[in-house]
């Protein structure tokens, strides 16, 4: 009891680095406003009073996800390479968020965008893609994002108008996180000991992880990975046959398998206890961070919350009976 009280007092004590960070600001366009997201402590979600848990709120990016950072770098990479012609159509396989971000930025810059995505993604994602003017090409939902990748590659080979930035193999993806996400974390939380993120393309883990480890060579990096067989949006199981080219598994100190049910339970608790309305993949990342925290003596963890909860409202994530619908949860496309 004395140890817990001491930890609580220490948590309330102000630290020199705390306070407002390099957020907000004034920008010439919405594209330049990407990033600069806040880092917020979520003490009620930490299972260990001696471990401080901070959430990087990436759903506060302009289109509501961490993929805004990547999409900006992908399009700028195409511009620098000279691959875009007057009749070019930017095409990208996506589970939704990258496509939405590409569509917003492309509309601002005057480019056409087509996205290939599973036909069973949430309606909110489809509506946002349409709102930003993206042309939607459906791939079989049963094949998840792997099917979207295969179809996009097929289309690029058949029509020279299509130009694919290809987030799964483009170094611009991890570079976005190396140069922006990690730098923001270092500025706001220089004492970070552990970095946790969901495993999707691998860009966040590899890019931010490398820069954070340069800052702190003792830093540990963990991934949240979906259970094999569960259809997910945004995260992927490496056991299902497709490993993104940009992903370097040697950067990881470990990974945690998390289920849809675990993730939904965590995101509900995040909303109830901390007032943070995040998406299902964020719940999975929280679960992984909690498992790391439970085994630590003390320290500081930063976990990335990739997108917001409002893109999942149509799936009744906050009202669904998790016990009664356990089998149904395995087939939901929520990440």
Catalytic positions are: 67, 281
Q: What are the angstrom distances between the C-alpha of 30 and each of 18, 26, 165?
A: 27, 10, 21
CA distance 277 to 2: 34
What is the chain's percent helix, strand, coil content, to nearest 5? 45, 15, 35
CA distance 264 to 282: 9
- Name 18's Cβ contacts closer than 8 Å, sequence gap at least 6: none
Reported in sequence order, the residue ranges of the chain that DSSP labels E, i.e. its strands, are: 39-41, 51-57, 89-93, 112-118, 135-139, 162-163, 194-198, 220-226, 254-258, 299-305
Q: Which residue has the tokens 């991890």?
A: 174
């Amino acid at each position: 009891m004395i140890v817990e009280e001491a930890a609580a007092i220490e948590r309330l004590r102000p630290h020199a680095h705390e306070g407002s960070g390099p957020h907000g600001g004034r920008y010439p366009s919405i594209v330049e406003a990407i990033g600069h997201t806040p880092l917020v402590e979520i003490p009620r979600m930490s299972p260990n009073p001696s471990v401080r848990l901070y959430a990087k709120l990436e759903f506060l990016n302009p289109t509501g996800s961490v993929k805004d950072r990547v999409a900006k770098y992908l399009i700028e990479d195409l511009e620098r390479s000279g691959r875009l012609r007057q009749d070019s159509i930017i095409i990208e396989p996506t589970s939704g968020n990258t496509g939405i971000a590409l569509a917003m930025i492309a509309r601002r810059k005057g480019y056409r965008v087509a996205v290939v995505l599973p036909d069973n993604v949430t309606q909110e994602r489809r509506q946002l893609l349409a709102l930003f003017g993206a042309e939607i090409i459906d791939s079989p939902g049963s094949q998840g994002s792997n099917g979207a990748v295969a179809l996009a590659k097929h289309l690029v080979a058949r029509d020279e108008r299509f130009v694919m930035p290809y987030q799964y193999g483009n170094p611009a993806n991890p570079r976005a996180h190396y140069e922006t996400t990690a730098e923001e974390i270092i500025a706001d939380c220089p004492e970070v000991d552990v970095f946790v993120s969901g495993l999707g393309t691998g860009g966040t883990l590899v890019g931010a992880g490398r820069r954070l480890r340069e800052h702190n060579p003792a830093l540990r990096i963990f991934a949240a990975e979906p259970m094999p067989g569960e259809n997910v949006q945004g995260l992927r199981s490496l056991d299902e046959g497709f490993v993104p080219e940009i992903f370097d598994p040697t950067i990881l100190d470990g990974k945690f398998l998390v289920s849809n049910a675990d993730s939904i339970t965590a995101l509900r608790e995040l909303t109830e206890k901390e007032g943070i309305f995040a998406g299902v993949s964020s719940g999975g990342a929280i679960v992984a961070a909690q498992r790391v925290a439970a085994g630590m003596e003390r320290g500081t963890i930063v976990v990335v919350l990739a997108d917001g909860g409002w893109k999942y409202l149509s799936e009744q994530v906050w009202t669904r009976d998790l016990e009664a619908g356990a089998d149904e949860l395995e087939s939901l496309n929520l990440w």
